Structure 1
Amino acid sequence: MTDSEPTADRHQDGMAVRREVLGDVQVDRAVAGTTPFTADLQDLITRYAWGEIWTRPVLDRRSRSMITLTALVAGGHWEELETHVRAAVRNGLSVEEIREVLLQTAIYCSVPSANQAFKIAQEVLTEEGLA
């Protein structure tokens, strides 16, 4: 992306990546829940998080998923962690790799945070038939 790329293109590119990473069900739920009050936030997320950051070429999506899982654990963003555990699987992370990322968070984010993350990841991976 460049600064000269039109906002509509960033939104379109962002929505495509968002759907590829999170899946149609998750994105459709977010879009359906958009209100006039939250519309600007949804647009910002789509254009900047997905259309600017997730489309950059240096890091692959697997790496971005690992970073995102760690950041969500560090911040205690448990609902988002659930979404991004599913995204990590979609991006090709194995159950073992997700476990290793979460083990790493025990050291750098805290054992209680990792404990909660493991609980959430276990639920997601079980729902997905992977654990």
Structure 2
Amino acid sequence: MLDARGRRERGLRVYKKMGWGENAGLKEVDEEVWSLTTDFIFGEIWSRPGLSLRDRELVTLASLIAIGSEGMSVHMRHSHKLGITDKEIKEVILQVMYYVGQPRGFFAMRRLKAEMAERPPARGKKKQR
């Protein structure tokens, strides 16, 4: 395990790769929650070997869709920076929808359409590790 400073640095590097800057939106909501999220979730979990950031993002999207979380919008918005296309997000929604229920799937599809309307289509790029 890393020390606190190492976790923070790794968490901030993950944010940068995802196009989140320093995730200032969360920091504005609550600095302690931002610190825990940055240090543990992104500095420890997202930084582990074994899955690429791209794969972790797909797993996260599926999880957020399954629980019907508004947080899926942030991940949809920035997922193209990890090489994920809108078409792939749609496929994740379709895959998850029939396991967790159509209402969650429809909610996710509406979120995807809203995000697509806000930016040019995500084309994807090389996988990031």
TM, length-normalised to structure 1: 0.85
Aligned structure 1 segments of 4 or more residues deviating by more than 2 angstroms? 28-31
1:66 is the counterpart of 2:71: no
Secondary structure in structure 2 of the residue aligned to 1:72: helix
Unaligned runs of 5+ in 2: 123-129
Question: What does 1:112-123 correspond to in 2, within 5 Å?
Answer: 112-123=103-114
Deviation at 1:22, TM superposition (A): 4.0
1:105 is the counterpart of 2:101: no
- Count the aligned residue pairs: 122
TM, length-normalised to structure 2: 0.86
C-alpha RMSD of matched pairs (Å):
1.6
Match of 2:127 in 1: none
Match of 2:69 in 1: 77
Change (3 A) 1:22 1:110: farther
Unaligned runs of 5+ in 1: none
Deviation string 1:26-55 (CA, Å, 9 cap, x unpaired) is: 713333x15xxx322211100111001111
On the 8 A contact 2:94/2:105 being kept in 1, the answer is yes
Q: d(CA) in 2 for partners of 1:118 and 1:82?
A: 10
Q: d(CA) in 2 for partners of 1:22 and 1:30?
A: 14
